[in-house]
């Protein structure tokens, strides 16, 4: 599963939970166990880490003068790593915001 697919799955789950909390829709049917969310999140973090490690490795190869690595490869890998990190960061911010909203609900 690619990092984009994992993020799409995570966002779909978050939207379903938000809609359910607002009473707009009936609860979405669960496709897996309760640990599925944690596994998806862990997979996304690992995928982002892998992209950053590959980007660093390509940068090191290019810096050492390896002729098999072009500047465009290094730049594309760097941009992919940066974009995936920023996306993960925004998802984290949304999760923290949702958690804070839930904690502020008065029963």
Q: Residues near 26 by Cβ (< 8 Å), separated by ≥ 6?
A: 20
pTM of the predicted protein model: 0.63
Average pLDDT, the chain: 82
Averaged pLDDT for residues 1-5 = 62
The CA dihedral of 17, 18, 19, 21, to the nearest 10 degrees, is 80
User: Distance between CA 74 and CA 47 in Å, rounded?
Assistant: 18
- In the prediction, which pLDDT does 76 show? 94
């Amino acid at each position: 599963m690619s990092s984009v697919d994992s993020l799409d799955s995570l966002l779909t789950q978050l939207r379903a939970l938000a809609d359910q909390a607002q009473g707009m829709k009936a609860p979405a049917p669960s496709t897996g166990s309760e640990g599925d969310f944690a596994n998806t999140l862990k997979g996304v973090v690992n995928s982002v880490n892998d992209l950053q490690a590959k980007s660093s490795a390509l940068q090191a190869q290019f810096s050492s003068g390896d002729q098999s690595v072009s500047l465009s490869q290094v730049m594309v890998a760097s941009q992919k790593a940066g974009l995936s990190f920023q996306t993960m960061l925004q998802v984290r911010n949304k999760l923290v915001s949702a958690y804070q909203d839930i904690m502020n609900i008065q029963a």
